[in-house]
């Protein structure tokens, strides 16, 4: 299966990046084609609500920034992995901009191939996941009709301990087509 990871952390050596790398290694070991987009290394602006995509644009976004690389990856993906540090009880702004830009093609009628989703969240404290979970459940599981394959939350100092990395590696390695 084609797995698209949207990594919302701005820190290349941070916890989210390490967890994402372990998940990717696991999924690739099981033969899946994994494409990772570090959204913070991209220029992805917020949605302008101009409705060009739903009128003249016929599904194309008027903003010709790096989101144009993500749209085809989304359309070819069977599974979406969202990964983010928790910032003020939600995804990072950079990931939120990318998610808002799904608007151009983000409906089950257009994303016909996308069937599965999973989530990795990294935070300083525990029990701070309500905001991100609300969005994940409502926008991805309910609205896009995706099957939840797993939610992984890690917090504090030992979140990138071997046990955590092993957990997300095994999750990736255990994914079936």
- Contact residues toward ligand FMN (CB under 6 A) are 9, 11, 14-17, 85-89, 122-125, 128
Nearest-angstrom CA–CA distance, 121 and 88: 13
Closest to ligand FMN by CB, 71 vs 136, is: 136
CB of 142 to ligand FMN, least distance (A): 24
Closest to ligand FMN by CB, 1 vs 128, is: 128
Closest to ligand FMN by CB, 63 vs 159, is: 159
Nearest-angstrom CA–CA distance, 46 and 124: 26
Closest to ligand FMN by CB, 134 vs 143, is: 134
CB of 90 to ligand FMN, least distance (A): 8
Tokens of 75: 């359309």
CB of 80 to ligand FMN, least distance (A): 18
CB of 172 to ligand FMN, least distance (A): 18
Nearest-angstrom CA–CA distance, 14 and 109: 36
Nearest-angstrom CA–CA distance, 82 and 73: 14
Cα 162 to its chain centre, rounded Å, is: 23
Give the residue nearest to ligand FMN (CB).
Answer: 14
Closest to ligand FMN by CB, 15 vs 63, is: 15
For the chain, give me the number of helices (H) and strands (E)? 5, 5
CB of 105 to ligand FMN, least distance (A): 28
Q: 127-158 in b/e burial notation, b at 16+ Cβ within 10 A?
A: ebbeebeebbeebbeeebebeebbbbbbbeee
């Amino acid at each position: 299966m084609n797995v698209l990871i949207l990594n919302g952390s701005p820190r290349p050596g941070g916890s989210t990046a390490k967890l994402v790398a372990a998940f990717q290694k696991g999924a690739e070991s099981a033969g899946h084609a994994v494409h990772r987009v570090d959204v913070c290394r991209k220029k992805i602006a917020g949605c302008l609500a101009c409705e060009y995509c739903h009128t003249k644009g016929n599904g194309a976004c008027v903003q010709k920034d790096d989101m144009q690389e993500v749209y085809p990856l989304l359309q070819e993906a069977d599974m979406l992995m969202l990964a983010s540090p928790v910032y003020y009880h939600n995804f990072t702004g950079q990931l939120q901009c990318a998610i808002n830009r799904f608007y151009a093609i983000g409906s089950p009628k257009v994303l016909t191939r996308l069937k599965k989703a999973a989530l990795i969240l990294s935070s300083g404290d525990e029990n701070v996941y309500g905001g991100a979970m609300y969005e994940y459940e409502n926008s991805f599981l309910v609205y896009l009709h995706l099957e939840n394959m797993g939610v992984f939350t890690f917090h504090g100092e030992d979140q990138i301990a071997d046990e955590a990395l092993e957990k997300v590696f095994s999750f990736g390695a255990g994914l079936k087509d």
